[in-house]
Amino acid sequence: MEASEILKKIRKIEITTRALVNEVFSGEYHSMFKGHGLEFAEVREYQEGDSYKEIDWMVTARMGKPHIKKFNETRELNVFFLVDKSASSLYGTYNNIKSDIIAEITALLSFSALSNNDKVGLILFSDQIEQYSPPRKGKRNALKILRDILYYKSDNKGTKIEKATEFVWKISKKRSIIFIISDFYDEGYEHSLRILSRKHDVVAFRIVDPSEITIPDAGIMHMQDPETGKKITVNTSSKRFRENFHSYMNQQSLDLEKNFKKMKIDLLTIKTNEDYIPNLIKFFKNRVKRIRKG
C-alpha cells in the first residue's frame, strides 16, 4: 500500500471509529473490564450491603467492630493488541481482506481505550514477534498503532500464537487487557493462552472469511497455502468435498469455541463479509453483564 493511501485509510478509520467510540462505547468501556489494579481508598465501619469479602479482619480485630477496607480501581489499564500479521491475514474474498478488518477493530478499540485514558501497546506477530510498541497513552500513539498495523509487512508467513502470548506474558507485569486478533489457524497455543488468561483479561477476535467456512462451487481450483506454500488442485464442484470441508470447518469452529469457553476467554468470530459493529456492541454488552454478575 502507498503511504498516502494508508494515511487516507487511517483517517477514514479514525473518523468512523471516533463516532462509534463516542456513541457506543463511551459509557460501557470503563465497565467492560474488571480493573483489579487497586488503590487504597479508606477503611470504614461495615454497613449493611457491604460485601463480607471486603471485611478487613486485622482492623476489625483491633477495633472490635467489623470494618471494611475500600479500594478504588486504578484506571490507566494497559491494553495490548496481539495482531496476527501472518500471510493468511491477507486473505479475503469479499470487500475486505482479513487484515483490513483487523485494523478497523484495533482502531476502534484503541480509540476507546484512548478516551478512557488507558495505555495501548501493540504486538505484531507471525510465527515470531514482528514488532512491539510498548503501551503508551495519547492519540498520537493510537494513530501510530493503526499505521503500524496497516503498514507493516511481515516477511514471515506462518502463524504461532504461542510466541505472542509468551511474549506478552514476559513483558506485562501489571494486569492488562489483551486483545488477540487472529484467524486462529494455529495449534498448540492453548496452554500458554490459558496461563495468560489467568493473570490478564484476554479477549479473542477471530476473523474468518466466508470462503473459509464454505468453499464456493468454482470448478477446478489450483490453490496454494500462503503460509506453508503447499499446493493442491481440487475440484470444488465436488459436492461431497464441499460438504466434508464445511462440516470439518464447522467442527473446528465449535471446538475452538468450546476450548475458549473452558479457558474463560471471550471469543467473537467476525466474518469479513458482515457488518461486525452490531455484533461487536452486542458482544461487549454481554460481557459487561457477565462481569457485573460475577
Partner 1 sequence: MTQFINPLWLLLILILPLYWYYEWKVKSKKRPRVQYPLVKVIKKVYKYNHWSLYIPIIIKSVLIVLIALALARPRQVIEHKDINKKGIDIVFALDLSGSMLAVDFKPVNRIEAAKNVAADFVNLRENDRIGIVTFAEYAYTLSPLTFDHNMLLHTIENLDVDEDQNGTAIGSGIATAITRLKDSEAKSKIIILITDGRNNAGEIDPMTAAELAKTLGIKVYCVAVGGTGPVDFPFLHPIFGVQYRKVEIDIDIPALDAIAKTTGTNKASVATNTEELNRIMEEINSLEKTEITQKNYYEYKETFPKILYIIIVIILFDILRRTVFRREIL
Q: What residues from 150 to 209 belong to the interface with partner 1 (CB under 8 A)?
A: 183, 185
Q: Tell me the one-letter amino acid at 117.
A: N
Taking CB under 8 A as the rule, does residue 212 contact partner 1? Answer: yes
Relative to beta strand 119-125, strand 78-84 is parallel
- Smallest gap from Cβ 87 to partner 1, in A, equals 8
Site string (60-89) toward partner 1, x via CB under 8 A? ---------------------------xx-
Closest CA to 82 of 168, 159, 150: 168
The residue (of 57 and 241) whose beta carbon lies closer to partner 1 is 241
Backbone phi, then psi, for 184, in 5-degree steps? 55, 35
Closest CA to 216 of 183, 250, 241: 241
Cβ atoms of 81 and 121 closer than 8 Å: yes
- Smallest gap from Cβ 246 to partner 1, in A, equals 9
- Tell me which of 7, 249, 281, 288 binds partner 1, using CB under 8 A: 249
The residue (of 89 and 110) whose beta carbon lies closer to partner 1 is 89
The residue (of 124 and 202) whose beta carbon lies closer to partner 1 is 124
The residue (of 238 and 259) whose beta carbon lies closer to partner 1 is 238
Rounded distance, CA 219 to CA 238, Å? 8
- Smallest gap from Cβ 161 to partner 1, in A, equals 14
Backbone phi, then psi, for 233, in 5-degree steps? -115, 125
- Smallest gap from Cβ 193 to partner 1, in A, equals 20
- Smallest gap from Cβ 237 to partner 1, in A, equals 6
Rounded distance, CA 108 to CA 104, Å? 6
Taking CB under 8 A as the rule, does residue 96 contact partner 1? Answer: no
- Smallest gap from Cβ 40 to partner 1, in A, equals 50
Taking CB under 8 A as the rule, does residue 256 contact partner 1? Answer: no
Angle at CA of residue 263, ends 272 and 278, nearest 5°: 30
The residue (of 237 and 286) whose beta carbon lies closer to partner 1 is 237
Q: What residues from 117 to 156 belong to the interface with partner 1 (CB under 8 A)?
A: none
Rounded (10°) angle between helices 139-151 and 3-20: 130
Q: Which residues contact 251 (CB under 8 A, 6 or more apart)?
A: none
Site string (213-242) toward partner 1, x via CB under 8 A? -----xxxxxxxxxxx-xxxxxxxxx--x-
Residue 150 has, within 13 A of its CA and on its CB side, a CA count of 27
Stretch in the footprint of partner 1 (CB under 8 A) among 58-66, 115-123, 246-254, 268-276: 246-254
**Residue 284 has which C-alpha cell?**
461487549
- Smallest gap from Cβ 232 to partner 1, in A, equals 5
Query: Exposed, middle or buried: residue 233 (CB in 10 Å: 0-12, 13-18, 19+)?
Result: exposed
**Residue 239 has which C-alpha cell?**
459436492
Rounded distance, CA 29 to CA 22, Å? 10
- Smallest gap from Cβ 203 to partner 1, in A, equals 23
Give the binding site for partner 1 (CB under 8 A): 87-88, 90-91, 183, 185, 211-212, 218-228, 230-238, 241, 244-245, 248-249, 252
